[in-house]
Amino acid sequence: MNRDEMLAAYDRQVRISQGERAGRVVRKAAEGGWNSILWSDLDEDTADAEIAAQVAYFTALKRSFEWKLYSHDRPADLAERLSAAGFAADPEETLLAAEAAAMAAEPRLPEGVVLRPAEDPAGIELLMEAHEQAFGMPVPGLRDQLLRRLAERPESMAAVVAMAGDRPISGARVDLDPDTEFAGLFGGGTVVGWRGRGVYRALLAYRARVAVERGYRYLHVDASSESRPILLRLGFVPLGTTTPYVYTP
């Protein structure tokens, strides 16, 4: 599958099929969870009205939401229209994808480091501790989202923590949504002092193996500027960029 075919498959399987169709957008609305516009089919004549409609919808629910804007979305000035409507842009990320089987391997870890699956609330606490130390800030609402997902749909994700003794030094998860060939990679930040020693790559190999075992063909990730060079070296292919635009009522 070439880049354009993979991007088209990503749009169909990850963006369109994983939410509810509402007018000219596909959105995901979840109380206490992630609220987002996943995909849109807009042009210069329909964009402003659709943006206003979604702002009104989520404002009535008293929820912040994210409009995930991709570089191939239309109209070409959709970013400017979102900003004018009161959305705030988060940092741009690169959408990368790869064959899962090509990334799956036995994890190779530094001496003294082991991987612990995060399969219970205690594991999720270790995962959150690793995230907060690695990224230097808490992620509001993420702990509750993951605990709810673990309780209600444990088959839809696999999380893992790298442990150096009793200290969590890195953590990541792979989302395994139904009816798609794409497994989503999230997290992977490593605490200072353990970076550049293969921990990130080991977490990737672990999650790729899980994805292959569960029948997924591809991995996808919204890569930050820190992780993008590593993933490109490993063979991931850039499909474009994505920028979260966040609206807070």
Residue 188, judged by CB atoms within 10 A of its CB (0-12, 13-18, 19+), counts as buried
> What is the distance in angstroms between the CA of the first residue and the CA of the last residue of the chain?
41
Render each residue's pLDDT in the chain as its tens digit; 249 residues: 789 999 999 999 999 999 999 999 999 998 777 899 999 999 999 999 999 999 999 999 999 999 999 999 999 999 999 999 999 999 999 999 999 999 999 999 999 999 999 999 999 999 999 999 998 888 888 999 999 999 999 999 999 999 999 999 999 999 999 999 999 999 999 999 999 999 999 999 999 999 999 999 999 999 999 899 999 999 999 999 999 999 999
Nearest to 127 by CA among 141, 140, 117: 117
Report pLDDT for 141.
Answer: 85
- Provide the angle, in degrees to the nearest 10, between the axes of the packed helices 142-152 and 121-135: 150
